[in-house]
C-alpha cells in the first residue's frame, strides 16, 4: 500500500460521511424492495370473486442508481472557480489587464451568472485566468485552508450546485465560485512502462512484439517480463476528470477503455506505457510493513538490511499462522513492528480504492475473505508487507 505519500484516496475518509448513500449504493448495500403497501395487503386478504375487481398498487418509483465507479472526491469541498486577475495581483505573471479593467470584466461576468448560472463553465473557459480554465474552472477537491479565507468563507455557505455570482476580491484578483457535487466518476488502470533505449529501432521492435504478446498472454505475466518500473505492473492511482497528475494521453485512453480492456503502446517522454483498466473496489484491511534501508521508498528511517527485513516479516507471518483464531494478534504485531504510519491503529487502513493500493497488495487482498491473513509476504517499494482483509468499518471511520 502506497502510504509513503498522501495517496489521492487517503482523504476519502474526510468526505465519506456526507456521501454514505452514494457509497452504499455503489457497494450494493441498498435495497430495491417494491412493497405493495396497505392497499395491496388488504386486497390480498379479500375473497376473490369475478364481480369484485381487485385494486392494485402502483409500482414504487425506483431511484436511479448513481453511475458506475462514482465515489467521494478527496477534499473538504469540491469547487469550480473563475479568476479574473490583473497586473498588480499576486502571481499575475505576464498579465497586462489593469485592476480597473479586471473589475469591469468581473462586473460583466457577475451579471451573466446572475442571469444564467448554468453558463459558469463557458464563462470560465472564456475569461478565467485560473489553472483549470480550459476545464470549465473545475478545481476538484480542496482542503480547508487551501483557499484564501475570503473564498473559503463564501464556499462554506454555498449549497451543492450553487453559484456565488458576485465577485470576491483577494490578493490574486476577483473570484467566482461554484460548489460542486462531492462525488464523481473515478478511473484507474494497471500499467507497465518499457523505457526508451539508445537504439530507437530496436526499442520500437520490442514494443511491437509486446503488443502482440498481450493479445495471447495475461497482462500481469507480460508486465513482469518486460516492465522497467520498480516491481512488475503498477497501478496508476485513481483519478477523476479534474485530476491532472497523469499524462493526458494516459487518462484519455483509460477513460475510453472498457473494464479489463488493454491499451498501448502509448508513447511518453520516458518510454511506452501499456494499460489495463481495472474495476474499482473499496478495500479495508490491516498491514504490517517491514521496511529496510535499501527499499525503493524506505519508511520510518529503517536501518535494517533487506535480508533482516525478510526474516522478520517471515517470523511475524509464522506467528499469525500459528494462532489463526487470535484476531487481536495482528494488531499487536503491527503496533510493535510496523514501519507504516498505520501502526498506531494496529495496521488498520481503509476505506481505500484498490487503484490507490500497490498492485501486489490489491492482488493479495482480493483473494481473501474477511479476517483472513494472506499466506505470503508481499514485496512492495516500501518494504515487505503482511496483509489481512477487514470488513467495512462502521461509518467509514477507523
Give the DSSP letter string of 290-330. Answer: E--TTSSS--TT--S-HHHHHHHHHHHHHHHHH-TT-HHHH
Report the alpha-carbon distance of residue 5 to residue 354 in Å, rounded: 16
Torsion angles phi and psi, residue 208, rounded to 5: -65, -40
CB 167 within 8 A of CB 107: yes
Go through the domains of the chain in sequence order and give each one's CATH number: 76-181 (3.10.50.40), 187-277 (3.10.50.40), 282-396 (3.10.50.40)
Specify the pLDDT at position 309.
98
Report the alpha-carbon distance of residue 255 to residue 261 in Å, rounded: 11
CB 380 within 8 A of CB 271: no
pLDDT bracket for residue 36 (50, 70, 90): very low
Calculate the average pLDDT of the chain.
83
pLDDT above 50 for 133: yes
Exposure of 311 in the CB half-sphere (CA atoms within 13 A):
5
Q: By C-alpha distance, which of 239, 215, 224, 213 is closest to 191?
A: 224
pLDDT above 90 for 252: yes
Looking at per-residue pLDDT, the higher value among 243 and 129 belongs to 129
Specify the pLDDT at position 46.
37
CB 296 within 8 A of CB 381: yes
pLDDT above 60 for 398: no
Report the alpha-carbon distance of residue 266 to residue 257 in Å, rounded: 14
Rounded to two decimals, what is the model's pTM?
Answer: 0.69
pLDDT bracket for residue 238 (50, 70, 90): very high
Torsion angles phi and psi, residue 123, rounded to 5: -65, -35
pLDDT above 70 for 254: yes
What end-to-end distance do the CA atoms of the chain give, in Å? 17
3 state DSSP class of 329: helix
Q: By C-alpha distance, which of 262, 269, 238, 265 is closest to 362?
A: 238
Report the alpha-carbon distance of residue 242 to residue 77 in Å, rounded: 14
Sequence-distant (6+) residues with CB within 8 A of 2 are 237, 356, 357, 358, 381, 382
Report the alpha-carbon distance of residue 360 to residue 364 in Å, rounded: 6
Report the alpha-carbon distance of residue 354 to residue 351 in Å, rounded: 9
Angle, helices 327-337/306-322, rounded to nearest 10 degrees: 160
Report the alpha-carbon distance of residue 18 to residue 21 in Å, rounded: 8
Specify the pLDDT at position 245.
81
3 state DSSP class of 49: coil
Sign of CA dihedral 14, 17, 20, 22: negative
pLDDT bracket for residue 67 (50, 70, 90): low
pLDDT bracket for residue 53 (50, 70, 90): low
Q: By C-alpha distance, which of 239, 355, 231 is closest to 297?
A: 231
Q: By C-alpha distance, which of 71, 73, 72 is closest to 26?
A: 71
Specify the pLDDT at position 201.
86
pLDDT tens figures, 292-346: 999 999 998 899 999 999 999 999 999 999 999 898 999 999 999 999 999 999 9
Sign of CA dihedral 333, 336, 338, 342: positive
CB 281 within 8 A of CB 366: yes
pLDDT bracket for residue 361 (50, 70, 90): very high
Amino acid at each position: 500500500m502506497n502510504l509513503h505519500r498522501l495517496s489521492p484516496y487517503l482523504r476519502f475518509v474526510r468526505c465519506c460521511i456526507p456521501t454514505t448513500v452514494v457509497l452504499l449504493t455503489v457497494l450494493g448495500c441498498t435495497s430495491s424492495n417494491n412493497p405493495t403497501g396497505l392497499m395491496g395487503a388488504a386486497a390480498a386478504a379479500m375473497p376473490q370473486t369475478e364481480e369484485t375487481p381487485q385494486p392494485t398498487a402502483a409500482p414504487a418509483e425506483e431511484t436511479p442508481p448513481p453511475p458506475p465507479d462514482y465515489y467521494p472526491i478527496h477534499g473538504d469541498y469540491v469547487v469550480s472557480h473563475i479568476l479574473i486577475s490583473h497586473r498588480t495581483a499576486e502571481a499575475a505573471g505576464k498579465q497586462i489587464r489593469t485592476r480597473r479593467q479586471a473589475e469591469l470584466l468581473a462586473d460583466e461576468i457577475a451579471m451573466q451568472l446572475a442571469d444564467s448560472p448554468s453558463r459558469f463553465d463557458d464563462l470560465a473557459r472564456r475569461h478565467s485566468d485560473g489553472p483549470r480554465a480550459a476545464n470549465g474552472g473545475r478545481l476538484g477537491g480542496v482542503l480547508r485552508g487551501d483557499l484564501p479565507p475570503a473564498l473559503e468563507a463564501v464556499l462554506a455557505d454555498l449549497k451543492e450546485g450553487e453559484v456565488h455570482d458576485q465577485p470576491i476580491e483577494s490578493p490574486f484578483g476577483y473570484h467566482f465560485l461554484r460548489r460542486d457535487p462531492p462525488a464523481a466518476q473515478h478511473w484507474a488502470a494497471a500499467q507497465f512502462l518499457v523505457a526508451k533505449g539508445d537504439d530507437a529501432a530496436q526499442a520500437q521492435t520490442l514494443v511491437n512484439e509486446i503488443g502482440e504478446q498481450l493479445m495471447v498472454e495475461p497482462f500481469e505475466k507480460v508486465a513482469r517480463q518486460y516492465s522497467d518500473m520498480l516491481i512488475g505492473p503498477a497501478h496508476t492511482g485513481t483519478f477523476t476528470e479534474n485530476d491532472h497528475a497523469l499524462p493526458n494521453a494516459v487518462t484519455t485512453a483509460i477513460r475510453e477503455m472498457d473494464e479489463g480492456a488493454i491499451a498501448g503502446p502509448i508513447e511518453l517522454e520516458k518510454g511506452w506505457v501499456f494499460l489495463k483498466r481495472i474495476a474499482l473496489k473499496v478495500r479495508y484491511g490491516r498491514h504490517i510493513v517491514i521496511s529496510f534501508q535499501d527499499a525503493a521508498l524506505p519508511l520510518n528511517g529503517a536501518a535494517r538490511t533487506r535480508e533482516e527485513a525478510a526474516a522478520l516479516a517471515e517470523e511475524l507471518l509464522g506467528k499469525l499462522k500459528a494462532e489463526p483464531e487470535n484476531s487481536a494478534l495482528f494488531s499487536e504485531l503491527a503496533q510493535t513492528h510496523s514501519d507504516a504510519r498505520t501502526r498506531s491503529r494496529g495496521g488498520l487502513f481503509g476505506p481505500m480504492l484498490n487503484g490507490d493500493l500497490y498492485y501486489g497488495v490489491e492482488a493479495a487482498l482480493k483473494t481473501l475473505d474477511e479476517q483472513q491473513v494472506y499466506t505470503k509476504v508481499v514485496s512492495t517499494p516500501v518494504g515487505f508487507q503482511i496483509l489481512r482483509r477487514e470488513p467495512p468499518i462502521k461509518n467509514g471511520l477507523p
